[in-house]
Structures are given as C-alpha cells and as structure tokens.
C-alpha cells in the first residue's frame, strides 16, 4: 500500500513540476503551428500524410499527459472536480472520437481547440478566465445599464439628426449601430460627428456626452468588476494552495508514523 502511494506521489510530483508544464506548453505551441500551416494548401496538400502523422503523435502525447494527471490525482475522482480537467479530457476524447476520415472538418476544429489548453495549463491564465466567468452575473446589471444609456441616446439622436444624417440616424436601429461605432472610438469624429457638426454646431454636446458616459464610465465599470473578481480568484487560489500543502504534510506524517510502527513491529518480532 505504501509503495503504491509513493508511486502515485512521485507521479504527482512529475505532473506538478515546472519542466513538465513547460514541455506541455511547447507541444501545444507545436500543435498550434501545425494547425496554422494546414491553412496553406501549397504546404498541406503535398505533405498531407505527414501532417496527419504529426497530429496523431501529438494527440497520443496529450492523451498520455491527461492519463498521468488522472492517475496522479489522489483520490482519482478529484481530477474531475475541476472544470478545466473536464475541458482537457473532453477535447482529447473528442480528438480520438472524430479521428475518422468522415469528420475531417470537425477534426480540424478540434485541433484548433487544443490550443485553448494553454489556458488550462498556465495557472495565471486559468485564474483570469475563472475571474471572467465570475463576472457574468455582475455584468448583467452593467449590460442593463448600458442598454438604457444606448436606448436613450439612440432615441435622442434619431429625433435630432434623422434629417441631417439619415444614413447614421435615420431610424432607431441605425442610431444604435452608430452608437456602437462611436463607443468603440472607431473614426467616429470624421465619419459621424464632423459632417453633422457642420450643419448643427451644438451637436458636439450630444456626441461628447455619449462618449463620456458610454465609453469611459460604462467601460470602467466593466474593468472594475473584472479586476475585483481577479483579486478574489487569486485570494481563493492562495487559500487552496495552503490547504493542499497542509493536507500533504499530514499525509507525509501519517506515512512516517506507519513506517515507524512497522519498524517497531519488526524489532519486536526479532526479539
């Protein structure tokens, strides 16, 4: 039993080692380069078989990597408690499932999705995505506020500028699309504001007020919510790491106690 535990602990140390993570990242990078090269017909068609062989080799390497992390998990079922492990497992399983010739398009899409495994491998990226997922409930309130701002300014813009610039403010729908262009700050001054400004000198009040409210205030709310959730995710990860380290220390102490008990029993039997 102790030998089995020691073997699994060794495997866990290997999968948690920085070198192991770097190697996996390099292989993900190689996979991404191969997928990119496949988009060039002059390269893919003559060497189609080589591309296929390289993809199968990478797929089986990733399969071995997932199997190692699965076996190293103590207990094994804890591997599936992480959503990122589920993502890795499903991506690799789907790669084997759709490896047939009838699913060439699906297989290529799955090869591209393997690049996303870089997020699950790099802890900092994983924390960032987790934080973004946590912002979704808070973002609904911000999106609702942003929708109100867009609707109010779209109605005002349609009332004021529909006759001056019908291509941008001719209807409520066009006004909303125009406001989306303005909020991205994509050449809105030359294309939208200045032609209207030549006819209506006070129109700058409308555009500047919308940019201030829509771009700077609303976007800063988005950024504030995301940053707050990133900080929370970092704190939770630190607490989890401390708990895992404590559990490992307790397990190592238990192993040492068992070894001491075994030595005492051996000494008694010898006597």
271 domain-assigned: no
* Residue range 85-144, pLDDT digits in tens: 888 888 787 777 766 544 555 566 667 777 777 777 777 777 777 777 777 777 788 888
Query: Can you give the residue range of the structural domain that contains 204?
Result: 127-258
What is the pLDDT averaged over residues 30-47? 85
198 domain-assigned: yes
- The number of folded domains in the chain is 2
Is residue 213 domain-shared with residue 196, that is, in the same domain? yes
Is residue 104 domain-shared with residue 156, that is, in the same domain? no
Give the CATH number for residue 115. Answer: 1.20.120.350
CA 37 to chain centre: 24
Per-residue confidence (pLDDT) for residue 253, from 0 to 100: 66
Is residue 114 domain-shared with residue 200, that is, in the same domain? no
Residue 242 has pLDDT above 70, yes or no: no
Is residue 109 domain-shared with residue 154, that is, in the same domain? no
Query: 121, 149, 174 — which closes off a domain?
Result: 121
Is residue 158 domain-shared with residue 99, that is, in the same domain? no
Per-residue confidence (pLDDT) for residue 2, from 0 to 100: 47
Query: 121, 144, 171 — which closes off a domain?
Result: 121
Please tell me which residue, 10 or 105, carries the higher pLDDT value: 10
Is residue 89 domain-shared with residue 47, that is, in the same domain? yes
What is the pLDDT averaged over residues 208-231? 80
Query: 121, 141, 169 — which closes off a domain?
Result: 121
266 domain-assigned: no
Per-residue confidence (pLDDT) for residue 168, from 0 to 100: 92
pTM, to two decimals? 0.55
Give the CATH number for residue 177. Answer: 1.10.287.70
27 domain-assigned: yes
3-state SS track over the chain? CHHHHHHHHHHHHHHHCHHHHHHHHHHHHHHHHHHHHCCCHHHHCCCHHHHHHHHHHHHHHHHHHHHHHHHHCCCHHHHHHCHHHHHHHHHHHHHHHCCCHHHHHHHHHHHHHHCCHHHHHCHHHHHHHHHHHHHHHHHHHHHHHHHHHHHHHHHHHHHHHCCCCHHHHCCHHHHHHHHHHHHCCCCHHHHHHHHHHHHCHHHHHHHHHHHHHHHHHHHHHHHHHHHHHHHHHHHHHHHHHHHHHHHHHHHHHHHHHHHHHHHHHHHHHHC
């Amino acid at each position: 039993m102790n030998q089995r535990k020691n073997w699994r602990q060794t495997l866990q140390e290997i999968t948690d080692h920085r070198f192991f993570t770097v190697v996996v990242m390099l292989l993900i990078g190689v996979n991404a380069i191969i997928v990119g090269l496949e988009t060039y017909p002059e390269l893919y068609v003559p060497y189609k078989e080589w591309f296929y062989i390289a993809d199968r080799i990478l797929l089986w390497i990733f399969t071995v990597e997932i199997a190692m992390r699965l076996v190293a998990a103590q207990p094994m079922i804890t591997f599936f408690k992480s959503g990122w492990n589920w993502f890795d497992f499903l991506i690799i399983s789907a790669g084997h499932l759709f490896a047939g010739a009838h699913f060439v398009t699906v297989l290529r899409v799955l090869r591209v999705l393997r690049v996303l495994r870089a997020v699950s491998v790099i802890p900092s990226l994983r924390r960032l995505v987790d934080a973004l997922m946590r912002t979704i409930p808070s973002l609904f309130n911000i999106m609702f506020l942003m929708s109100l701002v867009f609707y109010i300014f779209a109605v005002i813009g349609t009332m004021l500028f529909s006759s001056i610039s019908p291509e941008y403010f001719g209807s409520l729908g066009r006004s909303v699309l125009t406001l989306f262009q303005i909020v991205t700050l994509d050449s809105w001054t030359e294309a939208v504001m200045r032609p209207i400004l030549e006819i209506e000198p006070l129109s700058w009040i409308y555009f500047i007020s919308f940019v201030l409210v829509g771009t700077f205030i609303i976007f800063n709310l988005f950024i504030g919510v995301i940053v707050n959730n990133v900080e929370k995710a970092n704190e939770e990860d630190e607490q989890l790491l401390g708990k895992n380290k404590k559990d490992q220390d307790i397990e190592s102490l238990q192993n040492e106690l068992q070894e001491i008990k075994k030595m005492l029993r051996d000494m008694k039997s010898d006597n």
